[in-house]
Structure 1
């Protein structure tokens, strides 16, 4: 299992016919957290006319919400949500605040503006793919180490830790989908001379070429 999400949100702004559209992007893990972020934005831009938003939360089922906040129906919240769905984002919130510039944009103009602002906000944010997996413990003798390192390298798997004693123990990040295949390949490659056990379940992702790991609580 894997999904795309916001690692670090940011703010971006576009201007359409003197109306300012300010997009704020947030990583969120619950609906309550999304609503708290929304309230902070409303206080920050207290004098703005509209605070339109959309969020997608991964819980027992996928939760999607959006709001036009006074704009004509379907011209703000839904376009923001469609940008998020197009980017396949989950556990994320986008709020687009509008300062009216005096010129009506029409429904088509509003859809384009809220869409563009949302995309601009995402382009300034850090987006990652989080993968669900395990910290796999692999214990072997020194003759099997090279073969295991080769297998892991071929699959592009990350070694978190290596302990050298009278044997070698590696802690390897492996996705739930790859676990069985990797285990079988290591057992076969070392002629059964390796012991493999499943460690903590975790999410992991590469963030700007650096590995980040989050244990599942």
Structure 2
């Protein structure tokens, strides 16, 4: 079975708050697609919570090739970023950034207490997020002459293919989006069609 679904969030979560021994942990989850998106979200939170002590976070990017990073932001090593990342893994989400902003309450929590607090903060915010399942899609470009329009349209209708972009000039160009597990068979259908050129887009 080819896995062609993944889970992510479409919009930033509600802010969550977890309190323990006077310390406050504000949790946030953001949809991100690049390291630049991550930086932007962190900068916004640092402005919003300029008097906080720590802005600890973890993110995971990618669907088939995964990149992730966990940041303790001054907390003891592996006491913040990794517990947050652990929750990203347990909720099985990707293209997501989870941040826990800590205000120190005067009582030290110890490494065990911190791990537990950051884990809980991340768990609460992911529970508060709208997690949705998406399919991994392959994009193809179809190029054909107008006389092939009906034949192409018939296949598109029959197979319920999504056209994401079209250019109708001297000849016709469609960008189509196909679920990964159906991609090979769809490719063959168009590839066997006389006078229709199909190629994969990155």
TM-score (norm 1): 0.66
Tell me: CA distance 1:59–1:175, structure 2 relative to 1, closer, same or farther (3 Å).
Answer: closer
Alignment partner, residue 213 of structure 1:
none
Aligned-partner SS, 1:69? coil
Q: What is the root-mean-square deviation of aligned Cα atoms in Å?
A: 3.4
Asked if residue 125 in structure 1 is aligned to residue 129 in structure 2, the reply is yes
Q: Give how far 1:62 is off.
A: 2.2
Residue equivalent to 1:8? 11
CA apart distance, 1:179: 3.8
Q: Deviation digits for residues 153-172 of structure 1, max 9, x if unmatched?
A: xxxxx6769xxxxxxxxxx9
TM-score (norm 2): 0.70
Alpha-carbon distance, 1:63 to partner: 1.7
Conserved? CA contact 1:76–1:111, under 8 Å? yes
Residue of structure 1 in register with 2:106 after alignment? 102
Higher percent of residues as strand = 1
The alignment partner of 2:154 has SS state of strand
Alignment pair present for 1:72 and 2:87: no
Alignment gaps of 5+ in structure 1: 153-157, 162-171, 187-193, 202-215
Any stretches of 5+ residues in structure 2 without a counterpart? Answer: 141-151, 164-175
1:54-203 matches, cutoff 5 A: 54-58=58-62, 61-133=65-137, 139=154, 174-180=178-184
Do 1:54 and 1:93's aligned partners in 2 also have CA atoms closer than 8 Å? Answer: yes
